[in-house]
């Protein structure tokens, strides 16, 4: 240990919301955060994984011009550090002789003092980094920053089996700073804490875990950056779903660095976390893609009601238009419930009857359908007429259509292609029906931080209490053709999230015929899901990024 080594190090964690591909905008955010950290007395600012590119950049990384833009931004940012302010650790893709790497640039004193490359590239679930990156050629040791030896493993380097952290400790690292792009799923924070604790136990070193914030297509990055001290206790905890630049103070005590000052934010409980993830995902998808407002069909049912609440909370009442599209099977309750919901939220509410277009379609098809019985085809004309009206409003006014199908419906194909599946984004795509009810009840009693909507009951109690129905025929309820939702959701969670066998699901108390039928419906609805709008990932295994089943598939689990 040199005599010049400091005994205090102030490390700022920049938990920010970058936009994939907006290199100039991301650099501007990084500069603003560094200026903020400097005002707070920081010595070093830690940014998140691939911050300058935005994460995940996917095949953008294959474009030479994109890589050049990212590297130039990193070089320009490094020059900023000549002002004597904080040094920086910032993520960026770098193309080198050894390949294109998921990297960090460590800059201080106006220059880049080190580069480090990710060694363990994740290739599971939502990750496919091996497609576009090459692993770092070898593990490089810690970086000497103003007399402190800092190890910088990158995200998966602390999750996988490669002994990156142990090697850094053996090479003399005193503290580990980890930039991350870790997407949200329910209870993910507990998983992250356990991963970091395991590394702290193995290395004996404190670890700071900086995580990205924001929505990127289906993925939600929830922030919640934190540190675990060498004593295996939580050193600090930043907020979840909120951007922040927090400075933490670390003091040398013997051979160990100890956090003496930092935030200790409360982490939301399950329903609040899921709701805020959906809200953040919708807000960022709409805003980052340049939509000024959104429109949705408000049916008087629970799914469209919670989507309306999410839209108002995310965007404000003035940016949501709701449309009730009644037909002869639409009940008086639904008409009243939809209007009450719109009034409670304060958003625009229009009524566009669909009798004329539906009857027009039927008339046009009379000759072709002669001699057949009316059934699902005619019912679906109602849904498709509604979908066409919503898309016409979208085309005319530039509003993005919010689609409102939940995971239970999407799992078993209880949705109409080119009808109620029309839309640009679905905030509840990864919520099962019973979770939709739970979040609706929660929202009626709480206003989440950052929400733009009103307090109080925004989803009328009658919507929550009544039997769910698509109202495509007289006295229809969902349970006419589906098992009760508590049973259906449990079976689906077993099949989708846990990949359980039919026998194991039956052993939980479910009827075998029901389980095999649900499994069959799940498989044959794959072609619909491939054409569905993107939506927020909430569970460990969502449709699309995580669960990739073939459309043509004859396998059935028959024991």
Residue 431 among known ligand-binding residues:
no
Which long-range contacts link 82-87 to residues 24+ away (Cβ below 8 Å)?
Answer: 82/109, 82/110, 82/111, 83/110, 85/34, 85/38, 86/12, 86/34, 86/37, 86/38, 86/42, 86/43, 86/44, 86/45, 87/43, 87/44, 87/45, 87/113, 87/145, 87/146
Determine if residue 334 is labeled as part of a ligand binding site: no
The answer to whether 124 is annotated as binding is yes
User: Is 41 marked as a binding-site residue?
Assistant: no
User: What does DSSP assign to residue 265?
Assistant: P
* 404 assigned ligand-binding residue: yes
182 is in an annotated binding site: yes
Active-site annotation holds for 278? no
- CA–CA distance, 148 with 315 (Å, rounded to integer): 45
Pick from 11, 332, 26, 52: which is nearest to 176 by CA? Answer: 11
My answer on whether omega of the bond before 474 falls inside 30° of 0, hence cis, is no
Q: Which two tokens stand for residue 290?
A: 């340049």
Q: Which member of 29, 118, 429, 537 is catalytic?
A: 118
**Is 265 among the annotated ligand-binding positions?**
no
- Catalytic residue, candidates 29, 70, 155, 433: 155
Contacts with 214 (C-beta within 8 Å, 6 or more apart), sequence order:
16, 17, 18, 19, 220, 221, 243, 280, 284
Q: Residue 493 catalytic? A: no
**Residue 219 structure tokens:** 């993925």
Pairwise CA distance, residues 367 & 377, whole Å? 15
The active-site residue out of 29, 49, 341, 494 is 49
Q: Report whether 58 belongs to an annotated binding site.
A: no
CA distances from 147 to 4, 446, 481 (A): 7, 48, 69
CB-based burial of residue 556 (10 Å sphere; 0-12 exposed, 13-18 middle, 19+ buried)?
A: exposed
The C-alpha atoms of residue 258 and residue 248 are separated, in whole angstroms, by 10
From residue 59, alpha-carbon distances to 18, 21, 53, 67 in Å are 17, 11, 12, 11
Strand residues in 4-98 grouped as ranges (E):
8-15, 44-46, 87-96
Distance CA 10, CA 4 (A): 16
**Was 260 annotated as part of a binding site?**
no
Is position 433 annotated in a ligand binding site?
no
| 409 among annotated binding-site residues | yes
CA distance 122 to 306: 34
Query: Residue 244 in contact with residue 47, Cβ under 8 Å?
Result: no
341 among known catalytic residues? no
Active site residues: 49, 118, 155
Which residues are known binding-site members for L-glutamine?
124, 182, 188
Which residues are known binding-site members for ATP?
297-304, 404
Which residues are known binding-site members?
124, 182, 188, 297-304, 380, 404, 409, 528
Which residues are known binding-site members for deamido-NAD(+)?
380, 409, 528
């Amino acid at each position: 240990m040199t005599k010049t080594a400091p005994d205090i190090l102030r490390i700022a964690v920049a938990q920010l919301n970058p936009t994939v591909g907006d290199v100039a905008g991301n650099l501007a955010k990084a500069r603003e955060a560094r200026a903020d950290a400097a005002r707070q007395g920081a010595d070093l600012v830690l940014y998140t994984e691939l911050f300058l590119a935005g994460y995940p950049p996917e095949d953008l990384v294959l474009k030479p011009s994109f890589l050049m833009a990212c590297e130039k931004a990193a070089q320009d940012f490094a020059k900023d550090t000549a002002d004597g302010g904080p040094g920086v650790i910032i993520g960026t893709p770098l193309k080198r002789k050894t390949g294109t790497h998921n990297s960090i640039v460590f800059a201080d004193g106006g220059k880049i003092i080190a580069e480090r490359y990710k060694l363990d590239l994740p290739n599971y679930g939502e990750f496919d980094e091996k497609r576009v990156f090459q692993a770092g050629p070898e593990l490089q040791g810690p970086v000497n920053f103003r007399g402190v030896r800092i190890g910088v493993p990158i995200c998966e380097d602390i999750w996988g089996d490669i002994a990156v952290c142990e090697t850094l400790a053996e090479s003399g690292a005193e503290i580990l700073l980890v930039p991350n792009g870790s997407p949200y799923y329910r209870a993910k924070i507990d998983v992250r804490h356990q991963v970091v604790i395991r590394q702290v136990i193995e290395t004996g070193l404190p670890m700071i875990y900086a995580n990205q914030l924001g929505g990127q297509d289906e993925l939600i990055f929830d922030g919640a950056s934190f540190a675990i001290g060498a004593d295996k206790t939580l050193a600090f905890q930043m907020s979840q779903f909120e951007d922040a630049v927090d400075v933490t103070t670390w003091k040398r005590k013997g051979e160990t660095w100890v956090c003496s000052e930092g935030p200790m934010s409360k982490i939301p409980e399950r329903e609040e976390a899921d709701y805020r993830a959906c809200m953040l995902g919708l807000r960022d998808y709409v805003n980052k893609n340049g939509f000024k407002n959104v429109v949705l069909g408000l049916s008087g049912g629970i799914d469209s009601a919670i989507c309306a609440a999410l839209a108002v909370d995310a965007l404000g009442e003035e940016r949501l238009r709701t449309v009730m599209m009644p037909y002869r099977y639409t009940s008086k309750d639904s008409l009243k419930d939809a209007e009450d919901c719109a009034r409670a939220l304060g958003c625009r509410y229009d009524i566009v009857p669909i009798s004329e277009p539906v009857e027009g379609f039927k008339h046009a098809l009379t000759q072709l359908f002669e001699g057949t019985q009316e059934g699902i085809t005619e019912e679906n004309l109602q849904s498709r007429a509604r979908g066409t009206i919503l898309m016409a409003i979208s085309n005319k006014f530039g509003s993005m259509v919010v689609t409102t199908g939940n995971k239970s419906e999407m799992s078993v194909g209880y949705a109409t292609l080119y009808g109620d599946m029309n839309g640009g984004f679905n905030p509840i795509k990864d919520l099962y029906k019973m979770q939709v009810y739970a979040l609706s009840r929660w929202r009626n009693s709480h206003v989440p931080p950052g929400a733009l909507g009103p307090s109080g009951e925004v989803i009328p109690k009658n919507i929550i209490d009544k039997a769910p129905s698509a109202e495509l025929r007289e006295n229809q309820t969902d349970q006419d053709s589906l098992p009760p939702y508590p049973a259906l959701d449990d079976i689906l969670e077993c099949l989708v999230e846990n990949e359980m066998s039919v026998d194991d699901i039956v052993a939980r108390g479910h009827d075998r015929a029901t389980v095999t039928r649900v499994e069959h419906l799940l498989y044959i609805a794959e072609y619909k899901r491939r054409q569905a709008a993107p939506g927020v990932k909430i569970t460990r295994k969502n449709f699309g990024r995580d669960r990739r089943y073939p459309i043509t598939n004859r396998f059935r689990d028959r024991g």
